[in-house]
Amino acid sequence: MNTIPRANENSWWRRQRLWLLGALLLGAWALLMPYREAWQGYARTHPMQAIDVAAGKSVAYEHAQWRLLNVTERDVPGQREDAMVLVARFELVMDADAEATRLDRCRGRISDASGRVWSNDSFGLLAVKHTLPASCGSGLGADFKTIQAQPGKPWLFEQVYQVPRGIDPKTLRPEIFLAWPEYEPVGRYLRFSQPE
Amino acid sequence: MRWPGWRSLLWVTAGLILIVALRKGELDYAGKLAPLATPGELKQRIVARNFALTVDGFRLAHAYRIAGADAQAAPRVLSTPGVWVSVVLKLEALREPGLLNARIRTRDGSIYQANGDARPRARGVNLSGVEVAPGLPATGAFFFEMPPAELPGAHLQVYWGGLTPTDMDSLIDVDLGTGARSSDALAAQTVAEIDLRP
Amino acid sequence: MQAVRNPRWQAVFFLALVAIVLTALLGGFRQAAPKVVPTYAAGARVSSKALAVQPLQAWLSSRNPQGYADANTHEDFLVLEANVENLTRLSNNWYLGSDLRWLTNKDDQTGTKPSIIYLADDNSLFESLQPHLPTRVLLTWKIPPGHAVSEPMRWGLLGRKFVEKTFLTTESGWLPDGAVATLKLSVTDRRAPAAAAQ
């Protein structure tokens, strides 16, 4: 039997249509699932999807209420001429079941309308004198004792950024991102518009 | 066993030949993940995916004079078994802040990684470990130690991130222009000492 | 057990028996002789194919090359000064840190890796070896206090072989290739006399 039966009443394709459909679906699944998993893994530690916050409003994020107070320019001696230093102040009210140490892992950035971002000066390299704690959950208070955000009570903190001179500071939007979220979908981050 | 037939045998052989040819022609591991190189010239602004640079040129020296470890210490002379190559350039980040790394690739494929920020320790000059942010370019130099014989045909490669180029990310490749010069000319160009102190 | 009666299987068993007897007769089952690794003295240049080492001198000291003694453990330092060269085409610090090992006693088969490596020129910390650039380095080992120091000391050098495409992942790399040389140097004792007398 060297020949393949041809042009049958019921062709091979018709007879196998259910199996072929199954194979197609399985193939699509095999391509999409790893991509989704990789995306999820990446979004766990990278800000991917912005939650835009209107000026002056507060937003619920990771079981806390966040609000941007203001963004001011700070004069820092020894600064490079083409840069300016901005300080953003936030108010945070933790829910009853939130933890200050978790919120401490927040990452701050500031972005402009075209999508360029600048990091928060988390290492203190800019030598800016802080009047408020620099972290989202805890900080050094008077006489160098550690103070923490308390549930239900407003917690004020500030973030410092170095951006190029020549950008209108009012168009910049401070961002807050918490990696490994417990309550939010992965990859979500807050993007605050400045009050007028 | 039934004789499968000449046609089936032909298909099988064709399949085997195709498998072997595809496997042999496949890129190796490093080739599959190789970064995407953007070539460029000296004194030209070259743009990669998320960073740009302009290479001014390079300088050759036998030794550098750098400041001592602290204010009281005497200046030190840093020598090398080969020759010091410093490539002066301006780095710009286009989208987000980060670190850039550099290496020199010679004609025979050898890779010379740029020295870290400790050798030479010259703050404001050594670009190793210096973070660049959008709109705030960094000017300075990367420092390399190389045998003088490998200089002709050297290319500078700059890339974003860690010690080795990130897989399939951007990389800028700049011909330093040493190919045209003879080794005598390069040797004559090598100064005895450059003072890196501010 | 029907298989044993089958003449084809009988032929297979017979051939297997013949193979075993032949192997035994040709000495295939004897114990392999241990590989003899040549010994070199100071000044000899030994190559592991990835790294060339020319040991110059060795000494014991209670201070490390940067001049600091270990205040907590009062350990002494064994320092080996050598001219080393990276024979591969990529600047790295892998092979120097792991292939040249101190054999603490006669029966030591694996050796200890150096704790810290310095550049002999200025006693700064070693970062990485550039290809084809011979460099003088100081490799240091911490000697636990009270360790019996035998004279002369021995070091072992592990060989490497270059593999273009590994079988599984088609990566290229320098794989370990067994011991290649033993270096034997007499060690000068530069420790303070009080410590040496203990």
> What pLDDT, on the 0 to 100 scale, is given for residue C106?
80
| DSSP of chain C | -HHHHSHHHHHHHHHHHHHHHHHHHTTTTSPPPPPP--EE-TT--EE-SSEEEEEEEEEEESS-TTS---TTT--EEEEEEEEEEE-SSB-BSHHHHHSEEEE-STT-SS-B--SEEEETTT-PBP--BPBT--EEEEEEEEEPTT----SSEEEEEEEEEEESS-TTT---EEEEEEEEEEEEE-EEE-S-HHHHH-
Q: Judge whether residue A127 has pLDDT over 90.
A: no
Instruction: Provide the whole-model pTM.
Output: 0.85
Based on its alpha-carbon atoms, the radius of gyration of chain B, rounded to whole angstroms, reads: 23
CB contact under 8 A, A118 and B97: yes
Q: Judge whether residue B182 has pLDDT over 70.
A: yes
> Token pair 């496949």 is at which residue?
B26
pLDDT single digits (tens) A31-40: 999 999 999 9
Residue of B7, B97, B135 lying closest to A119 (CB–CB): B97
pLDDT single digits (tens) B20-73: 999 888 888 888 899 999 999 999 999 999 999 999 999 999 999 998 878 788
> What pLDDT, on the 0 to 100 scale, is given for residue C198?
45
Over residues A8-20, mean pLDDT: 86
Instruction: Name residues 154-193 of chain A within 8 A of B (Cβ).
Output: 162-164, 166-167
- For chain B, what are the domain ranges? 35-195
CATH class of B35-195: mainly beta
Q: Judge whether residue A5 has pLDDT over 60.
A: no
Q: Which residues of B touch C127 (CB under 8 A)?
A: 115-116, 118-119
CB contact under 8 A, B150 and C132: yes
Over residues A169-193, mean pLDDT: 93
Sign of CA dihedral B181, B186, B188, B193: positive
CB contact under 8 A, A2 and B7: yes
Three-point CA angle B57, B61, B64, nearest 5° = 110
In whole angstroms, give the CA distance from residue C7 to residue A190.
Answer: 80
Residue of B78, B109, B112 lying closest to C91 (CB–CB): B112
Taking CA–CA distances from C87, the nearest residue in chain B reads B110
Q: Which residues of B touch C172 (CB under 8 A)?
A: 28-30
In whole angstroms, give the CA distance from residue C175 to residue B61.
Answer: 36
Neighbouring subunits of C (3+ Cβ pairs under 8 A): B
Residue of B28, B110, B119 lying closest to C172 (CB–CB): B28
pLDDT single digits (tens) C185-197: 998 888 766 544 4
> What pLDDT, on the 0 to 100 scale, is given for residue C3?
57
How distant, in Å, are the alpha carbons of A9, B39, B89, C2, C28 from that of C32?
71, 55, 60, 40, 9
Q: C70 — alpha (psi -120 to 50), left (phi > 0) or beta?
A: beta
Of the residues C83, C86, C89, C91, the best mutation for testing chain B's interface (the one with the most B CB atoms within 10 Å of its CB) is: C91
CB contact under 8 A, A117 and B134: yes
> What pLDDT, on the 0 to 100 scale, is given for residue B54?
97
Q: Which residues of B touch C135 (CB under 8 A)?
A: 81
> What pLDDT, on the 0 to 100 scale, is given for residue C197?
46
CB contact under 8 A, C121 and B30: no
ipTM of the complex: 0.84
> What pLDDT, on the 0 to 100 scale, is given for residue C165?
81
Q: Judge whether residue A124 has pLDDT over 90.
A: no
Q: What is the mean pLDDT of chain A?
A: 90
> What pLDDT, on the 0 to 100 scale, is given for residue B187?
87
CB contact under 8 A, A119 and B133: yes
Q: Which residues of A touch B94 (CB under 8 A)?
A: 116
**Residues 6 or more apart whose Cβ sits within 8 Å of residue C53:** C45, C46, C47, C82, C83, C84, C100, C157, C183
In whole angstroms, give the CA distance from residue C30 to residue B88.
Answer: 65
At position A131, the amino acid (one-letter code) is T
Instruction: Name residues 83-122 of chain C within 8 A of B (Cβ).
Output: 89-91, 121-122
Q: What is the mean pLDDT of chain B?
A: 92
Q: Judge whether residue A2 has pLDDT over 80.
A: no
How distant, in Å, are the alpha carbons of A84, B125, B140 from that of B193?
37, 16, 18
Residue numbers in chain C where pLDDT is lower than 50:
195-198
Nearest chain B CA: its distance from C88 CA (Å): 8
CB contact under 8 A, B136 and A167: no
Q: How many C-beta atoms surround the C-beta of residue C32 within 10 A?
A: 5
Q: Judge whether residue A126 has pLDDT over 80.
A: yes
Of the residues A86, A107, A119, A125, the best mutation for testing chain B's interface (the one with the most B CB atoms within 10 Å of its CB) is: A119
CB contact under 8 A, A116 and B7: no
* Burial group, residue B133, by CB count within 10 angstroms (0-12, 13-18, 19+): buried
Q: Is the Cβ of B134 closer than 8 Å to some Cβ of chain A?
A: yes
